[in-house]
Amino acid sequence: MKKILIWVSDESLKKVSMVVNEVNSDICILSVKTQKEANSVIINNDVDLFIIEINSNNDSFEFAKDVRKQRAYRFIPVVIMADNEKLIFQAYEIVRCYAFMKKPYDMEGLKEILKKLNNYKFVKRKSDKVKFKHNGVIYFFNKSEIKYIENSNRQVKIYSNDTVTNIGYKTCDSIIERLGCKDFVRCSRNGIVNAAHIVNISDEGIIEIKEFDKKIEIGSSIKKQFIQDINELNILFNLDIYKVIR
């Protein structure tokens, strides 16, 4: 489902939301009123379009500029609404907005803009980082540095290079979905391994990770799916890997 972050005045919100729903009722509208709320939305969602009303009395312009500094949102369409031309020109130059509108806003014009964007092929953005929230703290990890994720006793530990971080309880399925990268493969009911770091798998089904001493066993109920996932990645080992599952 496409997601749109809308940061406009209360006066404009109802009209803009109505136009969005007319164009595509399946679009998820994420409405915010502060920079804190907006930052929380982009941390916890993949936003496909921004509609931002800027003025001198709020932080929306600063937020729009910050969005463009993030790799994941560098090329995502931004529609700017403003009540004066100076702000519009600044936004067009700095934010590189897809379209802009000057007050009084033409809702039919907005509808045409959204119709074009509704046919836009939104490409899933690949990010080098992944974020997890635990006890009000947001943890960021470089995906390439994560070696192993252990889920036991309702606690998840992420082993990343020389560090171990507890991110609270999350299911393995939700973690893999959040990672959004095929390199991360379930190796047991409670374990996820970054296949890019695998250097060997023993005949007994022990996974060897580069510069990682922890013993990782392939779970008996996961073996066949694990081997299938590994083979899809075309990762080669110094053994007949199929012996592991027989």
Report the C-alpha gap between 187 and 229 in whole angstroms. 10
What topology is assigned to 3-118 in CATH? Rossmann fold (3.40.50)
Sign of CA dihedral 12, 58, 87, 97: negative
**pLDDT in the model for residue 234:** 52
Mean pLDDT rounded to a whole number for the chain = 86
Is 78 in contact with 95 (CB distance < 8 Å)? yes
pTM reported for the whole predicted model: 0.55
pLDDT band at 42 (very low <50, low <70, confident <90, very high): confident
Within the chain, residue ranges assigned H as helices are 10-23, 35-44, 60-69, 85-94, 107-118, 172-179, 223-232
- Calculate Rg over the CA atoms of the chain: 23
Architecture of domain 129-245: Beta Barrel (2.40)
Q: What is the rounded distance in angstroms from the CA atom of residue 22 to the CA atom of residue 143? A: 39
Examine the pLDDT at 242 and tell me if it is beyond 60. Answer: no
Task: Transcribe 186-218 into DSSP letters.
Answer: EEETTEEEEGGGEEEE-TTSEEEETTEEEEEEP
**What are the tens digits of pLDDT across the range 66-106?**
888 877 787 889 999 998 888 888 888 888 888 999 999 99
Residue 121, pLDDT > 70, answer no
Domain ranges of the chain: 3-118, 129-245
Residue 149: band (very low, low, confident or very high) from pLDDT cuts 50, 70, 90: very high
DSSP structural state of residue 45:
S
Task: List, for residues 160-202, the tens digit of each pLDDT value.
Answer: 987 999 999 999 999 998 888 888 999 999 999 998 888 888 8
Amino acid, single-letter form, for residue 195: A
Interacting residues of 17 by C-beta distance below 8 A, sequence separation 6+: 6, 29, 31
